[in-house]
């Protein structure tokens, strides 16, 4: 097979050989460039997705920390024994801030934040199957400093998530989550007595999860890839066209002229002249053929002089 292709290639004209070679380089270059750009853009897209998720995650934690350190102590001093204020709960503050962010910027509408709990006080925080699996992994690791991340699908859309374990770290929080008997009546009135109790200190019972849509950024990377491939293809196409044009003008046409003159000389027409148009290899070829013509002419003249007359 290879021999047949080699033989066919050898039988092609010089211009066709050059075009074929350039096309092979073109296809190879496009393929390698596409693979390299695809890997690079996907890598950059993943970094962008992860950076965005971490930014939201860190800001939500900052809100939770602020609520826990500064808002909660002030409000609790003003509350009476059985009174209850949602604003003292860090997860409530974080959720409200996140909802306000979504109202102010619609680009965050497809983002998700949740304190997914196995036994939540507010059933809005009840962990689904995916979230339950994450919480169980945290429980098995039993490390409050642990975090996990990865990709998952929500309603057919690919999301990148970051999650960290949630546990009661302050014994004062057990007043609301140990048993209904000691919980504030205001909280019982809002949430009832069936959920959110039986928690223990430093026991992992939930996970804080932020999910960022990856499809948007990955789609932008795909569009950038198509644009880059289009530009590279155009550059290669122009390069092939210019190379072919240059080859035909400065190589093929001069060689054809030399061939026509050589054929004329071979038939006995010594009035034709080899035209030298450059000082490169084509010019050297013209000089060689010119010397050959002169040598042949001198040989013929010498033979004619020495040939007997009569």
Predicted pLDDT at 270: 66
Query: How far is Cα 281 from Cα 271, in angstroms, rounded to an integer?
Result: 24
Count of alpha carbons within 13 angstroms of residue 183, beta-carbon side: 22
Q: Is the pLDDT of residue 151 over 80?
A: yes
**What is the total count of domains within the chain?**
1
Place 276 in a pLDDT band, splitting at 50, 70 and 90. low
| Residue 9 reports pLDDT greater than 70 | no
Summarize pLDDT for 280-300 with one digit per residue, the tens: 677 777 777 777 777 777 777
Here the tokens at position 251 are: 């190589």
- Count H helices, E strands: the chain? 10, 4
> For position 85, what pLDDT does the model report?
82
Domain that holds residue 72: 49-214
Classify 156 as helix, strand or coil: coil
Span 178-198, average pLDDT: 86
Residue that wins the pLDDT comparison between 267 and 184:
184
| Model confidence at 55: pLDDT above 90 | no
> Do the beta carbons of residue 33 and residue 229 sit within 8 Å?
yes
Please tell me the predicted confidence (pLDDT) of residue 307.
65
The four Cα atoms 239, 242, 246, 252 give a dihedral, to 10 degrees, of: 90
Question: 201 vs 303, which has greater pLDDT?
Answer: 201
Question: What is d(CA 40, CA 34) in angstroms, rounded to the nearest whole number?
Answer: 10
Residue 238 lies in a domain: no
What pLDDT, in 10s, does the model give residues 118-144? 999 888 899 999 999 999 999 998 888
Beta strands in 45-132 (DSSP E): 112-117
Q: What pLDDT score does 7 carry?
A: 65
Average pLDDT over residues 178-183: 84
Asked whether residue 111 is assigned to any structural domain, the reply reads: yes
Higher-confidence residue: 119 or 219?
A: 119
Q: Are 144 and 167 in contact (CB under 8 A)?
A: yes
What is residue 210's DSSP assignment?
E
Output 252 or 56, whichever has higher pLDDT: 56
Residue 57 has pLDDT above 90, yes or no: no
Other CB atoms within 10 Å distance of the CB of residue 147: 14
User: Is residue 146 within 8 Å of 131, Cβ to Cβ?
Assistant: no
SS3 (DSSP) at 36: helix
DSSP string, 69-95: IIIHHHHHHHS-TT---GGG-HHHHHH
Tokens of 139: 């429980």
- The answer to whether position 276 is within a domain reads no
Q: What is the per-residue pLDDT for 126?
A: 93
Spatial separation of the C-alpha atoms in residues 261 and 273, rounded to whole Å: 7
Cα–Cα distance, 268 to 305 (Å, whole number): 17
Q: What is the pLDDT of residues 10-28, one digit of tens each?
A: 666 666 777 777 788 878 8
Q: What is the DSSP letter of 112?
A: E
pLDDT of residue 274: 65
Would 97 be classed as within a structural domain? Answer: yes
Looking at residue 186, its pLDDT comes to: 83
Q: Is the pLDDT of residue 310 over 60?
A: no
Residue that is written with structure tokens 């080699």 in the block: 6
Evaluate whether residue 127 is within a structural domain.
yes
Residue 35 falls inside a structural domain = no
pTM passes above 0.75: no
| Structural domain contains residue 219 | no
Do the beta carbons of residue 192 and residue 232 sit within 8 Å? no
293 within a domain of the structure (yes/no): no
262 CB neighbour count, 10 Å cutoff: 14
Is the pLDDT score of 198 beyond 70? yes
């Amino acid at each position: 097979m290879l021999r047949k292709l080699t033989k066919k290639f050898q039988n092609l004209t010089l211009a066709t050989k050059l075009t074929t070679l350039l096309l092979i380089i073109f296809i190879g270059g496009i393929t390698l460039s596409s693979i390299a750009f695809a890997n690079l853009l996907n890598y950059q897209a993943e970094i962008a997705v992860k950076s965005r998720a971490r930014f939201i995650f860190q800001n939500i934690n900052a809100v939770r920390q602020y609520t826990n350190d500064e808002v909660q102590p002030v409000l609790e001093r003003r509350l009476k024994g059985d009174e209850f204020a949602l604003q003292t709960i860090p997860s409530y503050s974080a959720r409200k801030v996140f909802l306000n962010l979504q109202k102010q910027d619609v680009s965050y509408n497809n983002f998700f934040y949740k304190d997914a709990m196995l036994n939540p006080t507010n059933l809005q925080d009840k962990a689904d199957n995916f979230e339950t699996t994450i919480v169980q992994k945290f429980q098995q690791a039993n490390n409050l400093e642990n975090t996990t991340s990865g990709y998952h699908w929500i309603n057919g859309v690919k999301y990148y998530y970051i999650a960290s374990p949630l546990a009661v770290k302050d014994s004062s929080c057990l007043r609301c989550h140990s048993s209904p008997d000691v919980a504030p009546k205001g909280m019982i009135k809002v949430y009832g007595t069936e959920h959110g109790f039986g928690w223990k200190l430093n026991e992992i019972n939930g996970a804080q999860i932020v999910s960022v849509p990856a499809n948007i950024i990955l789609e932008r990377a795909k569009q950038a890839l198509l644009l880059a491939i289009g530009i590279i293809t155009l550059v290669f196409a122009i390069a092939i066209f210019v190379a072919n044009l240059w080859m035909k003008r400065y190589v093929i046409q001069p060689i054809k002229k030399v061939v026509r003159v050589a054929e004329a000389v071979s038939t006995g027409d010594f009035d034709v002249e080899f035209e030298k148009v450059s000082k490169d290899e084509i010019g050297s070829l013209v000089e060689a053929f010119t010397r050959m013509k002169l040598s042949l002419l001198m040989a013929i003249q010498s033979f004619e002089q020495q040939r007997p007359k009569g």
